[in-house]
Structure 1
Amino acid sequence: MLRALRRSGRLIVTYATCSSTVNRTSSDMRAGTSVGVTDPAVRHLIVRLATGVSFDTPWQHASDRARLRSVMRTTQSSLLRALHLLDAFRPGVDELTLGDLARHTGVPKTTAHRMVADLVEWGALERTPTGLRLGMRLFELGHLVPAQRGLRDLALPYLEDLYETTHQTVNLAVRHGNEIVYVEKLVSRGRLVPHSRTGGRLPLHCTALGKAILAFSPPHVVDEVIAAGLRPITSKSITDAARLLSDLAAIRERRVAFDVEESRLGMFCAASPLVNAKRVPVGALSITGMDSMSTARRFAPAVLTAALSLSRRLDA
């Protein structure tokens, strides 16, 4: 939808998509570049609209509307490209140069330079002596995600008790698409678990946490995971659909899932789902970093007890 009006002597053009609404004032549009305009004809059109069109009646020319819709599409793609710049950062990659960002995302370097300047101003990126890193503004926003914050706050006492009881690394994770996202991790001093981190992701079918969630998820969720392809992380990862379905059936029986070197060779894990009163899995708890299956089985009752206790609190 395209709409324009004047407020207090200022022209405001609004163009809305299904996901966002963007307002531009006449001062923005006189320059044209604020909405990503490179077409001289469209730039001229915006300047003309910003200075001389009566907005009490609908626009007269279909070509005007078509050109402004083109501007809208350009603006939306610019936003997505800026987000792709942020997505170039990966675990273990804390800093990137402008050239790295352009190369990883395919965004032209001149365009990336302009977007980076905006992202730095907003706080999504920070400059360092040698490049760029993610900014504190993203950290602050991440901790405002309602589901993550509420579940983490509720689960933290149980995680701490589990850690004190076992002295092993303990995790809280939720499902996002076909992956788990680690919401909290309390790390054991005895053995590092380097392949997971708070905010990190791993495939559902390759982790005890993910399988615990999958086992209590609707059938269509399991079907989607299988249809996407069971790509392995290690040589022990489950890649056969029948084997995964059999494992999930066993997990539903005992309410505990095991990672038998499926996410990292040499490491074993036990996890249990967090299921609310409607039988919907909202996440899972795990104990990880053990070096044998016998140790994972020994700690399974502890993680099961913690998960059952926390599950009862979900609807309290």
Structure 2
Amino acid sequence: MRHTSAKAPSVVDRVLDVFGAFTPDRPSLSLSELSRRTGLPLSTTHRIVGELARRGALERQEDGQYRVGLWLWEIASLSHGMGLREAAMPYLEDLYEATHENVQLAVLDAPEVVYVERISGRNAVSILSRVGSRLDAHATGVGLVLLAHAPAEVQEKVLAGPLKAYTPKTICAPEQLRRVLADVRRDGFVISDRQVELVSLSVAAPVYGHQDSVVAAISIVVPAAGTEPRTLVPAVRAAARGISRRLGAPRATRQPDF
């Protein structure tokens, strides 16, 4: 990432730029590639990478390239998302065993969602998401659920766009998106139909935390052809309710409303 502001990047900026240079397509990079991708001088890159490797945040491979180290994974395991994942896993596994389709858990980092967990079967429809990846919130089932329950200022920022079109079915009109978000709040679930890929659709529902606010969303992603998505709604909502109960949400102890 090249910094364009008049203020010189801090040491923290430079370190984070080094981590940001790695992508799913390029999980291993040489020093020269890291220098080029970060816009840092090679000498600076060498110094930062050497220190990160010494601390275990990066690992040097036999071919001389670097990749993210296990120490960083240990730190990441302390995040809120990992605790959420542990609470959700039994219910995600139950939902997967009942359907053998893609099951996902995500949180909002507007204007995107971050996928905390995904379980996929061998014969499940192919999807773009993976653990740790991001997609635009307005185009995904989990994203629509999370946006619907986000603060008004967050919603308005997303509605102001731009709204990326993944397929011809992606919701890109702000007023249409506003209506869908209202429907999600009313219904307690959403069916996102072929918004990210034309071969699939998803059914998503909110997960509530101990203060009865929405902290995550789960979804099941299935083939668009030959699937009646409304038949999946009770199972998805039941799984979401189970996770909410595990997280101590008061509303999850009341009688189901579905």
TM-score in terms of structure 1 length: 0.72
Q: Deviation of residue 101 (structure 1)?
A: 1.1
Is 1:191 paired with 2:115? no
SS of 1:170 mapped into structure 2: strand
SS of 1:174 mapped into structure 2: strand
Residues 20-58 of structure 1 show CA distances to partners (whole Å, capped at 9, x for unaligned) of xxxxxxxxxxxxxxxxxxxxxxxxxxxxxxxxxxxxxxx
Structure 2: which 5+ residue stretches go unaligned? 1-6, 250-258
CA contact (8 A) 1:271 1:284 kept: yes
Is 1:311–2:248 an aligned residue pair?
A: no
2:75 aligns with 141
In the alignment, which residue of structure 2 is the partner of 1:177? 110
Equivalent AA in structure 2 for residue 156 of structure 1? M
Deviation at 1:121, TM superposition (A): 0.7
1:105 is matched with which residue: 35, 38, 42? 38
Structure 2 distance, partners of 1:279, 1:174, is 15
Residue 296 of structure 1 is matched in structure 2 by: 229
Relative contact order (alpha carbons < 8 A, sep ≥ 6): 1 or 2 greater? 2
* Counterpart secondary structure, 2:116: strand
Of the three residues 139, 148, 160, the one matched with 1:227 is 160
In structure 1, the gaps of 5 or more residues are 1-72
Q: Structure 2 vs 1, CA of residues 124 and 225 (structure 1 numbering), >3 Å: closer, same or farther?
A: same
* Amino acid in the other structure paired with 2:93: E
Shift of 1:213: 1.1
Q: How does 1:67-146 map to 2 (within 5 A)?
A: 77-130=10-63, 131-145=65-79
Cα separation, 2, equivalents of 1:159 and 1:202: 20
- SS of residue paired to 1:294: coil
117-126 or 271-280: bigger deviation = 271-280
State the match for 2:145 in structure 1: 212
Cα drift, residue 285 of structure 1 = 0.8
Pick closer, same or farther for the CA change 1:289–1:108 going to 2, 3 Å.
farther
Once residues 93 and 295 of structure 1 are traced to their aligned partners in structure 2, the CA distance between those partners, rounded to angstroms, is 38
Are residues 1:151 and 2:84 paired? yes
Tell me how far apart the structure 1 counterparts of residues 52 and 239 of structure 2 sit (CA, whole Å).
41
Q: Distance in 1 between matches of 2:213 and 2:162?
A: 24
> Aligned pair 1:275/2:208, yes or no?
yes
Asked whether the 8 Å contact 1:217–1:280 carries over to 2, the reply is no
CA distance in 2, matches of 1:93, 1:265: 27
User: Secondary structure of the residue that 1:258 maps to in structure 2?
Assistant: strand
282-291 or 185-194, larger mean C-alpha shift: 185-194
C-alpha RMSD of the superposition: 1.9
Residue in structure 1 matching 2:135, options 197, 202, 206: 202
Q: 1:290 to 1:139 in 2, by over 3 A?
A: same
Calculate percent identity across the aligned residue pairs. 38
Choose which of 256, 259, 262 in structure 1 pairs with 2:189: 256
Structure 1 residue 115: Cα displacement: 1.0
In 2, Cα distance between equivalents of 1:223 and 1:128: 45
- The 8 Å contact of residues 198 and 224 in structure 2, kept in 1 or not, is answered as no
Letter in 2 for 1:247: V
Tell me which stretches of 4 or more aligned residues in structure 1 moved more than 6 Å.
none
Displacement after TM superposition at 1:107 (Å): 0.9
Corresponding letter in the other structure for 2:247? L
Question: Could you tell me how far apart the structure 2 residues matched to 1:245 and 1:293 are?
Answer: 29
Q: Return the alpha-carbon distance in structure 1 between the equivalents of residues 117 and 123 of structure 2.
A: 18
Q: For the residues of structure 1 that align with 2:67 and 2:26, how far apart are their CA atoms? A: 9
The higher radius of gyration belongs to 1
- Note if contact 2:100-2:124 (Cα within 8 Å) is conserved in structure 1: no
